[in-house]
Amino acid sequence: MRSDRMKSGLEKAPHRSLFKAMGYTDTELSRPLIGVVNSANEIIPGHIHLNNIARAAKDGVRMAGGTPIEFSTIGVCDGIAMNHEGMKYSLASRELIADSIEIMARAHPFDGLVLVTNCDKIVPGMLMAALRLNIPAVVISGGPMLAGRYNGQDIDLITVFEGVGKVKAGLISEQELQSIEDTACPGCGSCSGMFTANSINCLTEAMGLGLPGNGTIPAVHAARIRLAKSAGMQVMELVNRGICPRDIATSDAFHNALAVDMALGCSTNTILHVPAIAHEAGIDLNLNLINEISTKVPNLCHLSPAGPHHVQDLNEAGGIPAIMAELSKNNLIELNCLTVTGKTVKENIVQAEIKDDSVIRRLDNPYHPEGGIAILRGNLATDGAVVKQSAVAPEMLQSQGKARVFDSEEEAVEAILGKRIKAGDVIVIRYEGPKGGPGMREMLTPTSAIAGMGLDKDVALITDGRFSGGTRGAALGHVSPEAAEGGLIALVEEGDIIEIDIPAKSITLKVDEETLDKRRKLWTSPPPKIKEGYAYRYAQMVTSASTGAIFKEGGK
Active-site residues: which are they? Answer: 468
Distance CA 272, CA 281 (A): 15
How far apart, in Å, are the Cα atoms of 214 and each of 10, 470, 472, 530?
42, 20, 25, 38
Report cis status (omega within 30 of 0) of the bond before 305. Answer: yes
φ/ψ of residue 400, rounded to 5: -150, 135
Pick the closest to residue 211 from 232, 197, 190 (CA basis).
232
| β pairing state of 425-429 and 137-141 | unpaired
Distance CA 73, CA 116 (A): 10
Q: Using only C-alpha atoms, what is the Rg of the chain?
A: 23
Task: Answer for the pair 427, 500: CB distance below 8 angstroms, yes or no.
Answer: no
Distance CA 360, CA 319 (A): 9
Distance CA 236, CA 83 (A): 43
> Which residues, 6+ apart, have CB-to-CB distance to 443 below 8 Å?
409, 429, 432, 461, 463, 465, 466, 467, 468, 471, 475, 477
DSSP helix, strand, coil percent of the chain (3-state; round to 5): 45, 15, 40
**Under DSSP, is residue 541 helix (H, G, I), strand (E, B) or coil?**
helix
The residue ranges of DSSP E strands in 162-277, in sequence order, are none
| β pairing state of 398-406 and 497-501 | antiparallel
Distance CA 247, CA 462 (A): 39
| β pairing state of 153-155 and 148-150 | antiparallel
Report the greatest alpha carbon distance in the chain: 76
C-beta atoms surrounding 134 within 10 Å: 15
Distance CA 434, CA 478 (A): 9
- Which residues are 112's β-sheet partners? 34
